[in-house]
């Protein structure tokens, strides 16, 4: 089974700066890490590979620095990695990004399953996975909780309106994986060292051959009109008194909060 | 007796320990300025090991080690958790006769002070204490169950509380933008809020920032940064079946951190001439987590493979990079400088938690009574000007 995992390098800290003109996040100002939900997608992919053999290939689009997160993905257990990087691709919205990723996957080879994290911790649009599927004309199931393979189809579980829904989907297919649905395995010092020496495929727009007006800022119809940090408010209140008095205060607070719904 | 007005820059272990020791004098009027949080930055990233015997501090400074250790034990006795003590014990491994001799002397001093300590050559017994260790190529190991590691952040906050109780002022979230002097004599400082303070003494307790702090009075503080790249490992099987002690080799050390194991290359094995180990950088640019170099992964992997093979395949939970402030002889820089009234309490390197109590005790005496001590003579700024 050949699995592609789309992953994103996100800032470790929430303390990122915002471009005053474009209102886009300036990600270079912070240390990067693999988006947490993408780690769940990688784990789900590795579990499938361990069960059915094959390989897991991590894809990411970003600056050269995103190679660090790809090496982390290799250290965790991905077999191969592909970095899509080019100044011409910078500043792309979800449409331009999805178009670029889809093209890279197409060039890289055939895949049975394309996986991504359901949401990123920075942009949190949750759109790219489904858009890639659309560009590749694949069926897509969003925000899944689990995936297996049986009867020549992917058996997918997802939560929908407080119910667990089971779906069957023929491959090749695409899914986005919810954060926290599994426990991502950790790299070790040994696998980190091994990953350092692995070859990473690098695609620029020279390989992708996408028209300039289709990618990067030029290919992005999205207009961010504003972005701002939420107002920071310290609202913690210490409850004081005997255990009984504190319990009484908590009971009252809960009843007030309930009343708000 | 007239009041002495003292401004302390930096609220890490150095600044708060000094603030506390100064606050024990009735005529000290102390204001501490911390630009971020008390016990944050490099203090928060310290391992906090205070071992009764290891090679982190030469045995000639035994009283410094013991004073630090017992100060924190007293703190814990007064309020449990106030020094964050984890009594994990320490296993110090002898890989050469030279190290063995240091350990044996340390054990003798430890026992004389009323604590337990033994030098073990029975390799089965060493493996009982640390089952994952490889006992080939070692001569023996020193072991005590009485020590362990403390929490530098907790200690700093406890010292800050104590000094405030004694009348000192602690300004949190307030940096210092200028230090004022007239005719090479300190007159005060200006904060980032633009407020002027008058002081008789200004003490630089800014550790890795000292180079920049010193520039405010035209002083070249001769410290380098060595990289403290720390890694947190989750043992195979998620949880160890035994209590992991502080483990000290000359090249690296390890200790338990909850269910994880913290490992780091030892600061005395750093080479100031190696640009991978040392340099002069901007501590403000350090990320909160990550930022470590592959070099240290390779180094620690090689060390664990031959010395503690049982944990070599642990999962890597997280890592961080911190800068230690080290003069070229790896000892602190304390006391007077060519600028009258500008005092240094910096350069503790990897030993801030161990050394700060004794160094602060003596420094407070120097500031308040004008009396120097053998320790201050040894660690004086003037030694680095020769």
Question: How does DSSP assign B191-222, residue by residue?
Answer: ETT--EEE-SEEEE--GGGHHHHHHTTT----
> What pLDDT is attached to residue A23?
66
Report yes or no: A75 and A187 within 8 Å, Cβ to Cβ. yes
With both helix axes pointing from N to C terminus, report the angle between B13-23 and B352-369 in degrees, rounded to the nearest 10: 40
Q: Per the omega criterion (within 30 degrees of 0), is the bond before A172 cis?
A: yes
From chain B, pick out residues whose CB is under 8 angstroms from the CB of A189.
231, 233, 297, 300-301, 304, 312, 314, 316
Tokens 């769940």 belong to: A40
Neighbours of A21 (CB within 10 A): 6
Residue B121 CB partners (closer than 8 Å, separation 6+): B139, B140
User: What length is written for chain B?
Assistant: 386
Chain A CB within 8 Å of residue B297 CB: yes
**Contact yes or no for B333/B347 (Cβ under 8 A):** yes
Nearest CA in chain B to A33: B290
Residues A12-21: contacts with CB under 8 Å, at least 24 apart: A12/B287, A12/B288, A12/B289, A12/B290, A13/B287, A13/B288, A16/A122, A18/A227, A18/A228, A18/A229
The predicted pLDDT at position B287 comes to 84
As beta bridge partners, residue A32 has: A11
Chain B positions touching A193 (Cβ under 8 A) are 294, 297-298, 301
CA atoms within 13 A of residue B190's CA, in its CB half-sphere: 7
From B6, B43, B25, B20, select the one nearest B325 (Cα to Cα). B43
Helix H or strand E segment including B19? helix B13-23
B264 DSSP β-pair partners: B230, B253
CB distance A84 to A14 below 8 Å: no
Spatial CA neighbour of B173 closest among B1, B358, B355, B35? B35
Helix (H, G, I), strand (E, B) or coil at B115: coil
Contact flag B231-A189 (C-beta cutoff 8 Å) = yes
Q: Which helix (H) or strand (E) holds B142?
A: strand B140-144
Q: How many whole angstroms separate alpha carbon B18 and alpha carbon B357?
A: 8
Angle at B254 between CA B252 and CA B258, to 5 degrees: 160
Cβ contact, residue pair A193, B301, below 8 Å: yes
Cβ-defined contact of B314 to A30 (cutoff 8 Å) = no
CA A134, CA A129: separation in Å to the nearest integer?
9
Distance from the Cα of A59 to chain B's closest Cα (Å) equals 22
Give dist(CA B299, CA B296) in Å, integer.
5
DSSP string, B217-260: TT-----EEEEEEEEEEE-TTSS-SS-PPEEE-SSEEEEEETTE
Q: DSSP label at B380? A: B
Distance from A185 to chain B by nearest Cα, in Å? 8
Whole-number pLDDT of residue B1 = 64
Interface of chain A toward chain B, CB-CB under 8 angstroms: 12-13, 30-31, 33, 75, 185-190, 192-193, 196
Q: Is B306 on the interface with A (CB under 8 A)?
A: no
Secondary structure of residue B319 in the 3-state scheme = strand
Q: What is the ipTM of this complex?
A: 0.85
Going by the DSSP 8-state scheme, the letter that residue B71 receives in this structure is H
Residues in chain A: 261
The single residue listed with the structure tokens 């058996």 is A155
- Taking the CA atoms of B123, B125, B131 and B133 in sequence, report the sign of the dihedral they define: negative
Give the residue on A whose Cα is nearest the Cα of B236.
A188
Check if the beta carbon of residue A82 is closer than 8 Å to that of residue A4: no
Per-residue pLDDT of chain A (261 residues; tens, 9 = 90+): 999 999 999 987 666 666 666 666 665 555 789 999 999 999 999 999 999 999 999 999 999 999 999 999 999 999 999 999 999 999 899 999 999 999 999 999 999 999 999 988 887 788 999 999 999 999 999 999 999 999 999 999 999 888 999 999 998 999 999 999 999 999 999 999 999 999 999 999 999 999 999 999 999 998 888 877 777 776 778 888 888 999 999 999 999 888 876
Query: Residue B91: CA atoms inside 13 Å, Cβ hemisphere, count?
Result: 26
Per the CB < 8 A criterion, the answer to whether A70 and A104 are in contact is no
pLDDT of residue B237: 77
Report the alpha-carbon distance of residue B186 to residue B199 in Å, rounded. 7
Instruction: Report the distance separating Cα A81 and Cα A73, nearest Å.
Output: 8
Specify the 3-state DSSP secondary structure of B108.
helix
pLDDT, averaged per 10 consecutive residues of chain B (386 residues), comes to 93 98 98 97 93 91 97 97 96 96 97 97 97 96 97 97 98 97 96 98 98 96 95 87 95 94 93 94 88 93 96 94 93 97 96 97 98 97 87
Q: Mind giving me the DSSP string for chain A? A: -EEEEE--EEESSS--EE-TTT--EEGGGS-EEE-HHHHHHHHHHHHHHHHH--EEEEEEES-GGGHHHHHHHHHHT-SEEEEE--GGGTT--HHHHHHHHHHHHHHH---SEEEEES--SSS----HHHHHHHHHT--EEEEEEEEEEETTEEEEEEEETTEEEEEEEESSEEEEEPTTSS-PPPPBHHHHHHHHTS--EEE-HHHH---GGGSTTTT---------PPPP--------S-HHHHHHHHHHHHHHHHHH-
Residue among B295, B78, B58, B125 nearest A192 (CA): B295
Question: First CA to last CA across chain B, in angstroms?
Answer: 36
- Residue position matching structure tokens 């054990």: B107
Give SS3 for B385: helix
Pick from B137, B352, B313, B351: nearest CA to A192: B313
Return the ∠ at Cα B320 (arms to B242 and B220), rounded to 5°.
Answer: 125
Closest residue, chain B, to A186 (C-alpha): B315
By C-alpha distance, the chain B residue nearest A14 is: B288
What is the distance in angstroms between the Cα of B9 and the nearest Cα belonging to chain A?
Answer: 25
* CA-CA-CA-CA torsion sign (B235, B239, B241, B243): positive
CA–CA gap between residue A83 and residue A198 (Å, rounded) = 13
Across the interface, do A188 and B314 touch by the CB < 8 Å criterion?
yes
A186 with B316: Cβ contact below 8 A: yes
Q: Choose among B181, B208, B201: nearest CA to B31.
A: B201
Judge whether B34 and B168 are in contact, CB under 8 Å. Answer: no
CB contact under 8 A, A188 and B298: no
CB-count burial class (<10 Å; 0-12, 13-18, 19+) for B180: middle
How far apart are the C-alpha atoms of B223 and B379, rounded to whole Å? 13
Tell me which residue in A33, A189, A196 faces B316 most closely, judged by beta carbons: A189
Q: How buried is residue A231: exposed, middle or buried, by Cβ count under 10 Å (0-12/13-18/19+)? A: exposed
Is B315's CB within 8 Å of A185's CB? yes
Size of interface A-B (CB pairs under 8 A): 46
CA B193/CA B25 separation, integer angstroms: 29
In the numeric block, the tokens 């991978």 are attached to B276
- Chain B residues with CB inside 8 Å of A75's CB? 316
């Amino acid at each position: 089974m050949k699995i592609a995992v789309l992953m994103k390098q996100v800032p470790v800290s929430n303390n990122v700066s915002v471009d005053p003109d474009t209102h886009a996040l300036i990600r270079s100002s912070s240390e990067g890490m693999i988006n947490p939900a993408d780690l769940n997608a990688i784990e789900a992919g590795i579990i499938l590979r361990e069960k059915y053999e094959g390989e897991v290939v991590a894809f990411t689009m970003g600056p050269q620095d995103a190679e660090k997160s790809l090496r982390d993905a290799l250290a965790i257990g991905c077999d191969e990695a592909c970095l899509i990087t080019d100044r011409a691709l910078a500043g792309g919205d979800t449409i331009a990004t999805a178009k670029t990723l889809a093209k890279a996957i197409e060039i890289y080879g055939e895949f049975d399953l394309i996986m991504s994290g359901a949401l990123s911790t920075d942009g949190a649009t949750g759109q790219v996975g489904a858009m890639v599927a659309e560009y590749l004309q694949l069926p897509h199931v969003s925000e899944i909780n689990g995936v297996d393979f049986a009867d020549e189809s992917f058996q997918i579980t997802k939560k929908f309106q407080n119910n667990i829904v089971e779906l069957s989907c023929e491959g090749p297919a695409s899914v986005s994986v919810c954060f926290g649905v599994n426990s991502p395995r950790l790299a070790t010092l040994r696998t980190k060292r091994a990953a350092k020496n692995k070859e990473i495929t690098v695609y620029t727009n020279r390989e992708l051959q996408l028209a300039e007006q289709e990618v990067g800022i030029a290919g992005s119809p999205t207009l961010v009109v504003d972005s701002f940090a939420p107002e920071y408010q310290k609202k913690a209140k210490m409850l004081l008194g005997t255990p009984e008095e504190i319990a009484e205060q908590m009971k009252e607070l809960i009843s007030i909060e309930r009343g708000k719904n | 007796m007239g009041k002495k007005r003292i401004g302390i820059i930096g609220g890490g272990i150095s600044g708060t320990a000094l603030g506390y020791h100064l606050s024990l004098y009735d005529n000290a009027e102390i204001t501490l300025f911390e630009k971020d949080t008390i016990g944050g930055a490099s203090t928060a990233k310290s391992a906090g090991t205070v071992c009764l015997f290891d090679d982190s501090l030469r045995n000639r400074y035994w009283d410094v080690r013991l004073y630090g250790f017992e100060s924190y034990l007293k703190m814990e006795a007064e309020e449990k958790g106030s020094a964050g003590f984890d009594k994990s014990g320490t296993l110090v491994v002898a890989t050469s006769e030279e190290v063995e001799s240091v350990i044996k002397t340390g054990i003798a001093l430890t026992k004389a002070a009323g604590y337990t300590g033994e030098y073990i050559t029975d390799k089965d017994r060493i493996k009982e204490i640390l089952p994952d260790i490889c006992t080939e190529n070692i001569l023996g190991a020193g072991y005590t169950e009485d020590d362990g590691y403390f929490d530098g952040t907790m200690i700093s906050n406890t010292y800050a509380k104590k000094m405030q109780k004694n009348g000192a002022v602690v300004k949190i979230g307030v940096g210092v933008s200028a230090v004022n002097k007239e005719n090479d004599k300190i007159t005060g400082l200006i904060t980032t809020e633009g407020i002027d303070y008058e002081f008789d003494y200004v003490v630089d307790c800014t550790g890795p920032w000292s180079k920049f702090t010193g520039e405010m009075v035209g002083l070249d503080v001769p410290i380098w940064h060595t990289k403290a790249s720390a890694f947190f490992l989750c043992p195979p099987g998620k949880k160890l079946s035994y209590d992991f002690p502080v483990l000290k080799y000359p090249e690296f050390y390890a200790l338990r951190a909850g269910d994880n194991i913290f490992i780091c290359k030892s600061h005395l094995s750093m080479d100031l001439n190696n640009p991978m180990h040392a340099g002069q950088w901007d501590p403000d640019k350090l990320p909160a987590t990550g930022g470590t170099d592959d070099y240290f992964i390779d180094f620690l992997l090689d060390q664990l493979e031959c010395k503690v093979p049982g944990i070599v395949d642990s999962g890597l939970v997280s890592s961080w990079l911190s800068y230690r402030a080290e003069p070229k002889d790896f000892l602190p820089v304390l006391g007077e400088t060519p600028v009258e009234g500008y005092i240094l309490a910096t350069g503790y390197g990897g030993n801030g938690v161990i050394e700060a109590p004794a160094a602060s005790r003596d420094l407070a005496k120097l500031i308040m009574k004008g009396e120097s001590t053998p320790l201050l003579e040894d660690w004086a700024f003037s030694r680095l000007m020769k």
